[in-house]
Amino acid sequence: MPTYTLRQLEYLLAVAEHGSVTGAANSLHVSQSSLSSGISELERAINLKLLVRHHAKGVSLTDAGERLLIQARNLVEDAQTLEQVAHDLGSAPIGPISIGIFSVIAPYFVPELISRLANEHPEIDARISEVDLNDLNEGVLSGRFEIGFGYDFGHSSQVTLEHLIDIPAHIVVSTNHRLAKLERISLKQLQGEKLVLLDLPHSRDYFAQALANAGLELEIAYRSTSAELVRAMVARDMGVALLNLRPSHHQSLEGKKFSILEISESIPPARLVALINDPKNLTRRAEVVLETSKQIHVVGSAK
């Protein structure tokens, strides 16, 4: 068993960072004598001289001290990770968690998620990254994200999905459109219309398949990767659109209005899912985030 302690290694790291025993002791809130004694005990334990003390000019590390510093830092960081894992295994979730979310979903999902976590679990530091579906899948697989939220499109078979809500497709038209007064239409009634396409990987295929199943192939007038911009162009009567997520209002950011129409055909909804790498090794933080996500309401969605 090692004859040195993690505390002694922390003393060494602090001295290396501050360049003086005084600065290191102050940063760790210990006395200079305690820190000096700890370093001396560490030197005796490993039989190496680690510091050179310069009169009135602080201290510096010996060559051996410099080489040992990297391993000491790794050991201390590993110990901190072990402590965090121990916290996770306890009853209270605590600490930072990296969450990936499909950028299109984020405005409808993130505010309530973060608000609920802040109110109910303030010990959790939720760190959100807005990404596309491919980056979301890769991030969950690599461990960059402890948990992800996106559509059930284009995911790896190695990722575990947990279904949250279904989001049906709908039609968006301007309030001046010939169909605007109707509440529900058949896709076939769009024959001859121009399409404003939400042009994202997987999403574009989803919409194209829905139109193809109805025997339609609409001319694409405009493309955008932003659902907000798609609705704004539709509100200006520049075409019609198929979308899934819907706002709680029917007005573009520039103040022009649009109508949302339900679709009479049976179109598979977009499934909003949680993406998890290994369900058996979920941290307590990730479990809490997952449970919180199940309480979120998205306009027009169904469980």
- Domain hosting 52: range is 6-89
Check whether residue 14 and residue 74 sit in a common domain: yes
Cα three-residue angle 96-99-104, rounded to 5 degrees: 150
Q: Is 146 domain-assigned?
A: yes
In the structure, what pLDDT confidence band is assigned to residue 215 with cuts at 50, 70 and 90? very high
Check whether residue 162 and residue 274 sit in a common domain: yes
Q: Is 125 domain-assigned?
A: yes
Check whether residue 186 and residue 247 sit in a common domain: yes
In the structure, what pLDDT confidence band is assigned to residue 179 with cuts at 50, 70 and 90? very high
Q: Is 111 domain-assigned?
A: yes
In the structure, what pLDDT confidence band is assigned to residue 89 with cuts at 50, 70 and 90? low
Count the domains in the chain: 3
Q: Is 151 domain-assigned?
A: yes
Check whether residue 13 and residue 79 sit in a common domain: yes
The CA–CA distances, whole Å, from 153 to 197, 201, 272 equal 17, 9, 9
Instruction: Compute φ and ψ for 151, nearest 5 degrees.
Output: -85, 160
Q: Are strands 170-174 and 160-167 parallel, antiparallel or unpaired?
A: unpaired
Check whether residue 284 and residue 201 sit in a common domain: no
Check whether residue 156 and residue 288 sit in a common domain: yes
Check whether residue 279 and residue 203 sit in a common domain: no
| Mean pLDDT of all residues in 76-103 | 79
Q: Is 257 domain-assigned?
A: yes
Q: Is the pLDDT of residue 211 over 70?
A: yes
Check whether residue 148 and residue 211 sit in a common domain: no
Check whether residue 187 and residue 244 sit in a common domain: yes
**CATH code of the domain in which 232 resides:** 3.40.190.10
HEC letters along 200-240: CCCHHHHHHHHHHHCCCCCEEEEEECCHHHHHHHHHCCCCE
Q: Is 221 domain-assigned?
A: yes
Check whether residue 152 and residue 174 sit in a common domain: no
For the whole model, what pTM was predicted? 0.67
In the structure, what pLDDT confidence band is assigned to residue 56 with cuts at 50, 70 and 90? low
Q: Looking at 28-42, 90-104, 255-269, which range is the least confident one?
A: 90-104
Instruction: Read off the tokens for 261.
Output: 């129409």
Q: Is the pLDDT of residue 90 over 60?
A: no
Q: What is the pLDDT of residue 212?
A: 93
Q: Is the pLDDT of residue 127 over 60?
A: yes
Q: Which helix (H) or strand (E) holds 99?
A: strand 95-102
Q: Is the pLDDT of residue 146 over 80?
A: yes
Q: What is the pLDDT of residue 158?
A: 84
- Which tens digits make up the pLDDT trace of 223-261? 999 999 999 999 999 999 999 999 999 999 999 999 999
Q: Is the pLDDT of residue 88 over 80?
A: no
Helices (H), the chain: 6-18, 21-28, 32-46, 63-89, 106-120, 133-142, 203-213, 227-235, 284-293
Q: Is 233 domain-assigned?
A: yes
Check whether residue 61 and residue 131 sit in a common domain: no
What gap in Å lies between CA 63 and CA 167, rounded to an integer? 62
| Mean pLDDT of all residues in 55-73 | 86
Cα three-residue angle 79-83-89, rounded to 5 degrees: 145
